[in-house]
């Protein structure tokens, strides 16, 4: 799909068109109202806009969908961020007694940025991405989506392409929106395996026992590792790369492997050497600790002691797993997830540098997702003006009633996005909302039952 | 539920709902009227109980058999307990007292951070003890009654999840899984376990082994109590305006805090040349030890300087005297006058609140000496009854001529918890002209009592040490009896 025609300078011309005819306001409003279960949920939501010349305005809030539309069409924001649902209307926060204006709820969100992987990808760096390293995002989404669904029980997870070099996740379940800061922080830590900055060489350390979450994550990584790491990233190819990998291997195994690598050059064989060596260590330690456990039990000491002995006795035995995780496991920006009031780029926002729309990602087709085929604003604006085969451009009604006119404009708008590449993404978003709507309905019924008089 | 034989209107009121169980979270305050004397009695009794909890908790590893039997004894007399007495106050009365006394103490202990922390710690320990004492069915009932939606999982489910459970929870083996209860808890209620990935998660629920559920319930209790105390503090002004209550509440909270010996009552009344003789007569063993090693080595390390220096301040040394005292001693060693002024004088002035953030540091209590900053090689500070090698301690006591009869005499009403208290009491006794040796020995012995407290941080170590100390005191007895 040609999208290379985007020029950031044309944004001022394209944005008005986008906000007038393409931005899916009704779906957007449907999302953020959450079925009207809670009063003023939409009205108390904070938005922030980045306008031309980097002017940033916070605490924007709107009473109705119409007001939102009008404002956005007036301001033509370059970027839109979504924040928390507050105790009062954000636009009136200055009138509220200090201390009482508080962020109450927000979706649980995650931000995965390719730059956080610079130490482990050889194809690109910084803001660049390519199809080779995009696999990291695929892996990240598979791992996190599974955990959020199976471990935490979250049903409504929206994954969104950030527009340039990463992905965001919006967990929209009611339970997620109500999570405290402490809970968000705990969830984030549970999901974090890669720790340490530039100075840390070994960023993943595993001890016994291997938690089911880690095993499940490893299963995902293993699916992609050969193609991604051994081939695309040529992990076992260049001397430099091999050195980096071997730095993660315990010393005693390292020299042995270095020797073997003199003889063996094939990446897959080299990797096999590493995994075999690791397995050997694991079996050896297991036999040893089993003996210790038995021994201690017969002495009648506390079981606790035996377990702790087990984990200290074996260090670095899981190094093949640690390598895989260090190179492939998702790296989260904890600060984004922890704060209830943190603002995150909105779905369907435009990325000013690339022109790409932040579109939802269909997780069921995840492996087919290609960030380079995501439509840009210039593309879809262009598509708008292309007449569809056999269709004439609608003329605005002359002398029609106002309502009919409004109707017609709405209908036209709906037809508008449908003839652009944006269509399938909005359709997917609709399905996502339909999924949530069922729970909203149930909630509304429950609430009205409670209020019924007998 | 039948409540005793008392004819009370209260048995109909909603309060009695609260008394349906042995244990409660103290969510609802009592709503009845009581007399002032009942108010005071209840409060004092509970305070005594909490102090017992504190002392036992320091000298025994919590939840060992010894701890349990001792606490049981205290508790039975006063409060509702699983193993009910057939004689004595009725169950209802006990629970009512439990309820009311807790809330009264909240009023007294919500005022400062320290008071709150202490109160919460003892209440949590007491709660832990009582909760653990309930049988599993009662525990589950308690959880449900208090909206803690924790259910146990069936054996079938346990079997299905066995491997995951083993690999998730610390200290859980295949046997543990099958033999012990596992609770299904919403993950939001088990954040500490989730954060560290020490628990199995499935569909938003954490599967927690019984040993860990207590922690969760306790954390819940602690959080609730902490919030409640903060709220209570806000309504204090109203309470304090009642003149009947204010003096009582103050008395209650000071009964705990005790003196801190920071207000120097006798500044300048002690002269430097008295120190040597005083150290032999009225210094507790720890300070005597420090003084001696200062004289011998002409030096003390930082921990020792702090502990001893603050003690000296507490007995009445002025800043000028202190500077002179330390300097005179240090220059006898490797430190010259210049170096002293540069390196050590500052810290002495700091102790007196003349430098830095100008905190006038208070002399260390026994608890602080015992529990913080344990001495290592080359140090002489700490508590000899806690930190010294038992053999050495025996020797020292011998040297200091503690007589056999002195060891046997235990003055139970004298409880020592501060080195400066020891000094004052000793000076009082000496001034009173009583038999020095005999009276001094009693404080010495209660020093041992006060000091036979292990750190609860490393429970096993503490248990061993306590055992050692217990043995040691017995040895001492026999040793001196033979002599």
Give pLDDT, residue B406: 43
pLDDT for the residue A288: 58
List residues bridging with A299 in a β-sheet.
none
How far is A212 from B410, CA to CA, in rounded Å? Answer: 58
Query: How large is the average pLDDT for residues B51-71?
Result: 73
Choose between B323 and A402: higher pLDDT: B323
Do A229 and A323 fall within a single domain? yes
| pLDDT (0 to 100) of residue B481 | 39
Catalytic residue among A81, A107, A111, A416: A111
Closest CA to A312 of A211, A208, A214, A193: A208
**Splitting chain A (454 residues) into consecutive groups of 10 residues, what average pLDDT does each group show?**
74 95 96 95 98 94 97 97 97 89 96 94 89 96 98 98 97 97 95 90 92 97 96 92 94 91 93 92 68 46 40 69 96 94 97 97 97 96 76 50 68 78 96 94 84 61
Domains annotated on chain B, with CATH: 16-142 (1.20.930.80), 147-215 (no CATH), 273-431 (no CATH)
Record the pTM: 0.66
Best to test chain A binding among B172, B186, B201 (most A CBs inside 10 Å): B201
Q: Which domain holds residue A302?
A: 212-328
pLDDT at B362: 81
Structural domain count of chain A: 2
Phi, psi of A48, rounded to the nearest 5 degrees:
-130, 145
> Which band of pLDDT confidence, cut at 50, 70 and 90, is reported for residue B85?
very low
Report the SS3 class of residue A343.
coil
Q: Measure the CA–CA gap between A50 and A75, rounded to whole angstroms.
A: 9
Q: Is the pLDDT of residue B1 over 50?
A: no
Which element (helix H / strand E) includes A26? helix A25-33
What pLDDT sits at residue A303?
40
Facing residue for B195 by CB, picked from A154, A179, A189: A189
Domain boundary among A328, A349, A369: A328
B458 touches chain A (CB under 8 A): no
Residue A253 sits in the same domain as residue A312 = yes
Q: Is B230 exposed, middle or buried (0-12, 13-18, 19+ CB in 10 A)?
A: exposed
**Residue B80: band (very low, low, confident or very high) from pLDDT cuts 50, 70, 90:** low
SS (H, E, C) B130-193: HHHHCCHHHHHHHHHHCCCCCEECCHHHHHHCHHHHHHHCCCCCHHHHHHCCEEEEEHHHCHHH
Q: Over A363-380, what HEC string results?
A: HHHHHHCCHHHCCEHHHH
Q: Is residue A340 located within the same domain as residue A441?
A: yes
pLDDT digits (tens, 9 = 90+) for B449-461: 444 433 222 333 3
Distant-in-sequence, close-in-space partners of A230: CB < 8 Å, separation ≥ 6:
A236, A267, A268, A271
Q: Does B191 touch chain A (CB under 8 A)?
A: yes
The answer as to whether A367 is a domain residue is: yes
Please provide residue B251's backbone torsions phi and psi, each rounded to the nearest 5 degrees: -60, -40
* Whether residues A298 and A185 fall in one domain: no
Provide the token pair at A21.
Answer: 């005819």
User: A47 with A175, same domain?
Assistant: yes
In the listed set A328, A358, A373, which residue is the last one of a domain according to the structure? A328
Q: Say which DSSP state A388 is in.
A: P
Q: Indicate if A51 and A88 belong to the same structural domain.
A: yes
What's the pLDDT at B89?
57
Q: Tell me how many residue pairs between chain A and chain B have CB atoms under 8 A apart.
A: 58
Contact flag B188-A209 (C-beta cutoff 8 Å): no
Average pLDDT, integer, range B189-195: 90
Whether residue A310 is contained in a domain is answered as yes
Q: Does B200 touch chain A (CB under 8 A)?
A: yes
Residue ending a domain, among A291, A310, A328, is A328
Return the SS3 of A59: strand
Is residue A93 assigned to a domain?
yes
The answer to whether residues A343 and A86 touch, using CB atoms and an 8 Å cutoff, is no
Share of chain B above pLDDT 70, in %: 71
> What residues pair up with A48 in beta bridges, in sequence order?
A81
Residue A311 sits in the same domain as residue A361? no
Sheet hosting strand A108-113, strand order edge to edge: A108-113, A166-171, A157-161
- Do A300 and A250 lie in one domain? The reply is yes
- Residue B140's contacts (CB-CB under 8 Å, 6 or more residues apart) are B150, B152
Q: Does A211 touch chain B (CB under 8 A)?
A: yes
> What digits encode the pLDDT tens for the residues B148-174?
778 889 999 999 999 999 999 877 888
Token code pair at residue A256: 């042995």
Distance CA B402, CA B404 (A): 7
Asked if B393 and B384 count as a contact pair (C-beta separation under 8 A), the reply is yes
Residue B66 phi, psi dihedral angles, 5° rounding: -60, -45
Residue B263, chain A, CB below 8 Å: the answer is no
Most B CBs within 10 Å, among A146, A147, A150, A153, to test the B interface: A153
- Determine if residue B206 is left, alpha or beta; phi over 0 gives left, psi from -120 to 50 gives alpha, anything else beta: beta
Do A351 and A310 lie in a common domain? no
Cβ–Cβ below 8 Å for B168 and A307: no
Top residue of B170, B195, B205, B220 to mutate, by most chain A CBs within 10 Å, is: B195
Q: Where are the alpha helices (DSSP H) in A169-250?
A: 174-177, 181-190, 212-225, 239-246
Which residues of chain B does A151 touch, with a Cβ-Cβ cutoff of 8 Å? 201-204
Active site residue A46: yes
In chain B, whose CA is at the least distance from the CA of A190?
B195
Same domain, A320 and A344: no
Q: What is the 3-state secondary structure (H, E, C) of chain B?
A: CCCCCCCCHHHCCCHHHHCCCCCCCCCCCCCCCCCHHHHHHHHHHHHHHHHHHHHHHHHCCCCCHHHHHHHHHHHHHHCCCCCCCCCCCCHHHHHHHHHHHHHHHHHHHCCCHHHHHHHHHHHHHHHHHHHHHCCHHHHHHHHHHCCCCCEECCHHHHHHCHHHHHHHCCCCCHHHHHHCCEEEEEHHHCHHHHHCCCCEEECCEEEEEHHHHHHHHHHHHHHHHHHHHHHHHHCHHHHHCCCCHHHHHHHHHHHHHCCCCCCCCCCCCCCHHHHHHHHHHCCCHHHHHHHHHHHHHCCCCHHHHHHHHHHHHHHCCCHHHHHHHHHHHHCCCCCCHHHHHHHHHHHHHHHCCCCCCCCCCCCCCHHHHHHCCCCCCCCCCCCHHHHCCHHHHHHHHHHCCCCHHHHHCCCCCCCCCCHHHHHHHHHHHHHCCCCHHHHHHHHHHHHHHHHCCCCCCCHHHHHHHHHHHHHHHHHHHHHHHHC
Q: A61: which 2 tokens?
A: 């809030």
Among A151, A209, A304, select the one facing B166 at the smallest CB separation.
Answer: A209
Instruction: Specify the DSSP class assigned to residue A204.
Output: -
Query: B 203-242 residues with CB below 8 A of A?
Result: 203-205
Q: How far is residue A98's CA from residue A102's CA, in Å, rounded to a whole number?
A: 10
- Residues from chain B that touch A154, judged by Cβ atoms under 8 A, are 204
Percentage of residues of chain B with pLDDT beyond 90: 15
Beta bridge partners of A376: A356
Which of A394-408, B236-250, B324-338 has the lowest average pLDDT? A394-408
Neighbour tally for B223: CB within 10 Å? 11
Residues A445 and A372 in one domain: yes
Please give the residue of chain A at the shortest CA–CA distance from B211: A304
Give the three-state DSSP class for A84: strand
Does A2 fall in a domain? no
Cis-peptide, bond into residue A209, ω within 30° of zero: yes
Residues 6 or more apart whose Cβ sits within 8 Å of residue B360? B262, B352, B353
In sequence order, the 6+-apart residues with CB closer than 8 A to the CB of A213 are A147, A151, A190, B197, B201
| Cβ–Cβ contact A307 with B under 8 A | yes
Closest A-chain CA to B170: A307
Q: Say whether both A293 and A372 belong to one domain.
A: no
Domain membership of residue A146 (yes or no) is: no
A111: annotated active-site residue: yes
CATH of the domain at A96: 3.90.920.10
Q: Does A132 fall in a domain? A: no
Q: Smallest CA–CA separation between A41 and chain B, in Å? A: 23
Highest mean pLDDT among A2-16, A59-73, B180-194, B379-393: A59-73
Contact A188, A332 (CB under 8 A): yes
Task: Tell whether ipTM is more than 0.85.
Answer: yes
B110 is in an annotated binding site: no
Cα–Cα separations (whole angstroms), residue B440 to A217, B258, B428: 68, 22, 11
Assigned domain for A410 exists: no
Assess if residue A202 is contained within a domain: no
Residues B116-127 have a mean pLDDT of 89
Mean pLDDT score of chain B: 75
What are the chain A neighbours of B197 within 8 Å (beta carbons)? 189-190, 211, 213-214
């Amino acid at each position: 799909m040609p999208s290379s025609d985007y020029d950031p300078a044309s944004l001022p011309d394209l944005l008005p068109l986008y906000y007038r005819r393409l931005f899916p306001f009704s779906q957007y409003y449907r999302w953020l109202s959450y079925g009207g279960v809670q009063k003023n949920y939409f009205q108390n939501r904070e938005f922030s806009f980045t306008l031309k010349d980097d002017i940033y305005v916070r605490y924007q809030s709107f009473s109705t969908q119409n007001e939102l539309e009008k404002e956005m069409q007036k301001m033509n924001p370059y970027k839109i961020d979504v924040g928390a649902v507050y105790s009062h209307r954000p636009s009136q926060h200055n009138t509220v007694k200090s201390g009482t204006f508080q962020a109450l709820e927000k979706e649980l969100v995650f931000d995965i940025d390719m730059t956080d992987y610079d130490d482990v990808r050889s194809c690109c760096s910084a803001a660049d991405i390519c199809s080779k390293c995009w696999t990291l995002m695929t892996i990240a989404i598979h791992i996190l989506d599974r955990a959020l669904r199976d471990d935490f029980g979250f049903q409504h997870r929206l994954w969104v392409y950030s527009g340039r070099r990463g992905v965001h996740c919006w967990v929209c379940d009611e339970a997620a929106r109500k999570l405290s800061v402490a809970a968000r922080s705990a969830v984030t830590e549970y999901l974090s395996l890669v720790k340490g900055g530039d100075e840390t060489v070994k960023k993943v350390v595993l001890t016994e026992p291997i938690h089911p979450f880690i095993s499940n994550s490893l299963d995902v990584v293993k699916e992609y590792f050969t193609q991604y790491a051994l081939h695309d990233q040529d992990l076992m190819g260049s001397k430099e790369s091999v050195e980096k990998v071997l730095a993660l291997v315990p010393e005693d195994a390292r020299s042995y492997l270095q020797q073997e690598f003199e003889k063996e050059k094939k990446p897959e064989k080299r990797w096999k050497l590493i995994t075999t060596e690791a397995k050997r260590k694991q079996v050896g330690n297991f036999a040893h600790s089993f003996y210790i456990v038995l021994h201690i039990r017969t002495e009648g000491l506390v079981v606790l002691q035996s377990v702790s002995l087990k984990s200290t006795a074996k260090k670095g035995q899981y190094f093949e797993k640690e390598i895989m995780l260090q190179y492939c496991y998702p790296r989260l920006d904890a600060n984004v997830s922890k704060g209830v009031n943190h603002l995150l780029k909105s779905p369907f926002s435009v990325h000013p540098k690339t022109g790409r729309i932040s579109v939802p990602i269909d997780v069921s087709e995840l492996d087919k997702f290609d960030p380079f085929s995501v439509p840009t604003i210039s593309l879809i604006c262009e598509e708008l003006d292309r007449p569809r085969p056999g269709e004439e451009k609608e003329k605005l009604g002359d002398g029609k009633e106002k309502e009919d006119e409004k109707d017609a404009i709405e209908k036209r708008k709906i037809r508008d996005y449908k003839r652009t590449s944006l269509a399938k993404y909005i359709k997917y978003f609709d399905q996502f909302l339909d999924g949530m709507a069922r729970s909203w309905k149930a909630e509304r019924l429950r609430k009205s039952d409670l209020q019924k008089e007998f | 539920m039948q409540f005793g034989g008392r004819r009370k209107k209260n048995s109909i009121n909603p309060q009695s709902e609260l008394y349906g169980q042995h244990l409660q979270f103290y969510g609802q305050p009592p709503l009845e009227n009581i007399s002032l004397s009942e108010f005071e009695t209840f409060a004092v009794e509970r305070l005594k109980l909490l102090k017992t909890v504190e002392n036992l908790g320091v000298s025994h590893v919590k939840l060992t058999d010894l701890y349990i039997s001792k606490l049981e004894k205290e508790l039975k007399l006063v409060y509702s307990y699983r193993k009910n007495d057939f004689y004595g106050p009725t169950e209802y009365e006990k629970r009512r007292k439990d309820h009311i006394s807790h809330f009264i103490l909240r009023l007294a202990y919500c005022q400062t951070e320290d008071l709150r922390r202490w109160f919460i710690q003892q209440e949590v320990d007491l709660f832990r003890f009582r909760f653990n004492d309930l049988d599993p069915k009662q525990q589950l009932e308690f959880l449900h009654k208090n909206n803690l939606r924790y259910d146990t999982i069936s054996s079938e489910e346990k079997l299905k999840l066995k491997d995951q459970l083993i690999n998730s929870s610390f200290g859980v083996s295949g046997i543990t899984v099958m033999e012990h209860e596992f609770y299904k808890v919403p993950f939001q209620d088990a954040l500490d376990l989730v954060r560290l990935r020490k628990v199995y998660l499935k569909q938003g629920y954490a599967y927690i082994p019984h040993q860990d559920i207590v922690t969760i319930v306790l954390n819940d209790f602690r959080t609730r109590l902490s919030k409640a105390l903060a709220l209570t503090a806000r309504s204090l002004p109203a309470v304090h305006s009642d003149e009947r209550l204010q003096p009582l509440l103050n008395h209650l909270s000071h009964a705990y805090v005790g003196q801190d010996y920071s207000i120097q009552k006798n500044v300048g009344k002690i002269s430097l040349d008295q120190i040597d003789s005083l150290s032999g007569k009225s210094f507790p063993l720890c300070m005597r030890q420090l003084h001696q090693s200062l004289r011998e080595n002409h030096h003390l390390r930082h921990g020792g300087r702090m502990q001893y220096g603050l003690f000296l301040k507490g007995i009445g040394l002025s800043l000028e005297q202190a500077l002179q005292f330390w300097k005179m001693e240090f220059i006898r060693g490797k430190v010259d006058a210049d170096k002293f002024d540069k390196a050590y004088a500052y810290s002495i002035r700091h102790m007196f609140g003349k430098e830095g953030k100008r905190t006038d540091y208070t002399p260390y209590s026994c608890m602080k000496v015992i529990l913080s900053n344990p001495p290592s090689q080359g140090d002489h500070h700490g508590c000899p009854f806690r930190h010294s090698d038992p053999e050495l301690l025996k020797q020292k006591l011998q040297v200091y001529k503690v007589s056999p009869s002195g060891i046997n005499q235990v003055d139970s009403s004298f409880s020592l918890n501060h080195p400066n208290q020891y000094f004052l009491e000793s000076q009082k006794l000496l001034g009173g002209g009583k038999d020095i040796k005999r009276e001094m020995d009693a404080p010495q012995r209660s020093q041992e009592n006060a000091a036979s407290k292990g750190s609860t941080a490393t429970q096993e170590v503490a248990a061993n040490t306590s055992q050692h100390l217990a043995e040691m005191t017995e040895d001492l007895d026999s040793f001196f009896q033979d002599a």
